[in-house]
Amino acid sequence: MNTKILLLIMLCLGLHHVKSQTIMEIVENSADHNVLEIALNTAGLADELEGTGPLTLFAPTDAAFAALPAGTVEALLQDPQGALTQILLYHAVGANALSGSLTNGQFITTLNGKSVSVKINADGVFINQARVTVTDVLADNGVVHVIDAVMLPPATVVDVLLNSPVHTTLVAAASAAGLVAPLQGAGPFTVFAPTDAAFAALPAGTVEALLQDPQGALTQILLYHAVGDTAFSSSLTNGQFITTLNGKSVSVKINADGVFINQAKVSVANVIADNGVVHVIDAVMLPPATVVDVLLNSPVHTTLVAAASAAGLVAPLQGAGPFTVFAPTDAAFAALPAGTVEALLQDPQGALTQILLYHAVGANALSGSLSNGQFITTLNGKDVVVTINNEGVFINNVKVLVTDLLADNGVVHVIDGILMPPTRTENILETIEVKLFPNPVITDLTVEIDSDEEVTAELLDLMGRTLKKMMVKNTVTIPIDQAPGTYLLKINSEGTKELIQRVVKI
């Protein structure tokens, strides 16, 4: 009986001894972690692994260190506060990461600040490319998992993707498009990285078709997921637009459901590399084909989209273009007098349509082409005026918040107010009859003016730029040698009155 009691006491003491071990003590007591012990002591990290925790250590074996290129360990030990410390911190996590809590595709931020990825398959559990050979060696201040390789912190965003088990399609696509080497450059880069599941959700055959033409649409789609700057999650704001390496912009939406880039949800943020950051997203984003796509992707243009839909303008703005849209935000509509939007929506083919057309131009009006005092004729037929000063760019008196959101068929500029078409007509030549023929015109346009008064005729493009200018009395023939398209003929009388008519060159 006494013997049994003695054995029980010894067992309890033994269990207590095991439980009281710190992570550092587990390393010290292991016959397979001598190099790791030396490295931790040399780097001055032993005390941290003796601390209260909780901590997780992915512990490479001596064999793992021996598999590194000859001289690597010795070189690292020569500079213990440099690369050695960063590599060791990359093997430690400031939390308990028990094997039962790990999931395939998971990213875990290490004490280095960069993340490791978890892969779980029939071959076992892997941290990055290192296999876990022993799991859940419990310590009083955390847990140790033994791994069979030394993990190096990701130098580039490509390294992050290569280490991830859920980005094999993205890596294959980037390789086919020749984008791996550029993304291994100095950066900085931000990559919005669709998972394999996101690619699998595309219509059947899409990925295969894209890979058949890697320098075409595939490259443009991939560039639309990359930014030539570092965009950490903390710097993102709702309604923000970010220009991608494709040249077109993505929008940011932040709400109670999470963070979205266009319509793709960010499932993992801030996977850091030396040359940038990766955010994992759950959908493949397609570059906007039309100005409507830009607005549909925006979280701050829901009212404008609803209004354009009610007015039947969505389909026309999805046409070949080119178009420029001055796009008022939801806040701009909300600032109108109470009931205004509702009243306009009750008569969508009336004032609403005219107001919306006054926000659209039948030409590309990129910010670089705008000049102070410029007049631009809208699809409403009336002009807006551009003001550029120290306070910014204004269309009429409305400030441009975001410029040059590109689509295949045009460009969108975000504005902070509603543009109201002018209603006064004092400057219209109501007493002079003007005839234009033939219209559409092939080569020469005949202008007949029912007046003996000499007037000025100007041929303008839809950006309001003067292409031809001449004095006209009675009848004149104007050679229209411009490219096919829509133009405006402006007739001025005494410099105070004007008449504008549309001319179509075929």
Q: Could you read off the pLDDT of 179-193 as tens digits, one per residue?
A: 999 999 998 999 999
291-415 adopts what CATH topology? FAS1 domain (2.30.180)
Copy the structure tokens of residue 259.
């963070």
Residue 362, pLDDT > 70, answer yes
CA gap 67, 65 in Å, rounded: 5
- Cβ contact 279:271 at 8 Å: yes
The CA-to-CA distance between both ends of the chain, in Å, stands at 111
Residue 286, pLDDT > 60, answer yes
Q: Which of 343, 379, 375 is nearest to 358 (CA)?
A: 379
Classify each residue of 224-255 as buried b or exposed e, where b means 16 or more C-beta atoms within 10 Å of its C-beta: bbbbeeebeeeebeebbbbbbbbebbbbbbbe
- Give the pLDDT band (50/70/90) at residue 447: confident
Residue 401, pLDDT > 50, answer yes
Copy the structure tokens of residue 490.
């402006």
Asked whether the CA dihedral 312, 316, 317, 319 is positive or negative, the reply is positive
Q: What phi and psi, each to the nearest 5 degrees, are found at residue 207? A: -60, -45
Residue 495, pLDDT > 90, answer no
Cβ neighbours around 108 below 10 Å, total: 16
CATH architecture of 157-281: Roll (2.30)
Instruction: Average the pLDDT over 347-374 and give the result.
Output: 90
Residue 6, pLDDT > 70, answer no
- Give the pLDDT band (50/70/90) at residue 2: low
How many angstroms separate the Cα of 387 from the Cα of each of 232, 369, 373, 488?
Answer: 34, 13, 6, 22
Percentage with pLDDT > 70 across the chain: 92
- Cβ contact 164:103 at 8 Å: no
Residue 15, pLDDT > 60, answer no
Per-residue model confidence (pLDDT) at position 432: 65
**CATH code, residues 434-505:** 2.60.40.3080
Q: Which of 266, 236, 274, 283 is nearest to 107 (CA)?
A: 266
Higher pLDDT, 476 or 29: 29
Residue 199, pLDDT > 80, answer yes
Average of per-residue pLDDT values in the chain: 88
What is the 3 state secondary structure string of 211-234? HHCHHHHHHHHHHCCEECCCCCHH
- Which of 228-237, 238-247, 300-309, 470-479 shows the lowest mean pLDDT across its residues? 470-479
Domain with CATH 2.30.180.10 in the chain: 18-147, 157-281, 291-415
Long-range Cβ pairs for the range 48-51 (8 Å, 24+): 48/92, 49/22, 49/23, 49/24, 49/92, 49/141, 50/22, 50/23, 50/24, 50/25, 50/141, 51/22, 51/141
Per-residue model confidence (pLDDT) at position 462: 62
Q: Which residue has the tokens 């939406």?
A: 253
Residue 117, pLDDT > 70, answer yes
Domain with CATH 2.60.40.3080 in the chain: 434-505
Per-residue model confidence (pLDDT) at position 424: 43
Per-residue model confidence (pLDDT) at position 343: 86
Copy the structure tokens of residue 413.
């500029």
Copy the structure tokens of residue 470.
């001449």
Q: Helix (H, G, I), strand (E, B), or coil: what is residue 149?
A: coil
How would you list the strands of the sheet with 323-328, edge to edge? 360-361, 323-328, 410-415, 398-407, 392-395, 383-389, 375-377
Per-residue model confidence (pLDDT) at position 425: 39
Residue 280, pLDDT > 70, answer yes
18-147 adopts what CATH topology? FAS1 domain (2.30.180)
Per-residue model confidence (pLDDT) at position 296: 94
Q: Helix (H, G, I), strand (E, B), or coil: what is residue 38?
A: helix
Instruction: Average the pLDDT over 276-305 and give the result.
Output: 94
- Which of 308-322, 341-355, 367-381, 489-503 shows the lowest mean pLDDT across its residues? 489-503
Residue 423, pLDDT > 60, answer no
- Give the pLDDT band (50/70/90) at residue 361: very high
Instruction: Average the pLDDT over 150-165 and give the result.
Output: 93
- Cβ contact 23:59 at 8 Å: no
Residue 430, pLDDT > 70, answer no
Instruction: Average the pLDDT over 139-151 and give the result.
Output: 95
Where are the strands (E) in 140-246, listed by range?
Answer: 142-147, 189-194, 226-227, 241-243
H/E element, 470:
strand 466-472
Residue 244, pLDDT > 90, answer yes
Per-residue model confidence (pLDDT) at position 351: 85
Instruction: Average the pLDDT over 92-100 and give the result.
Output: 94
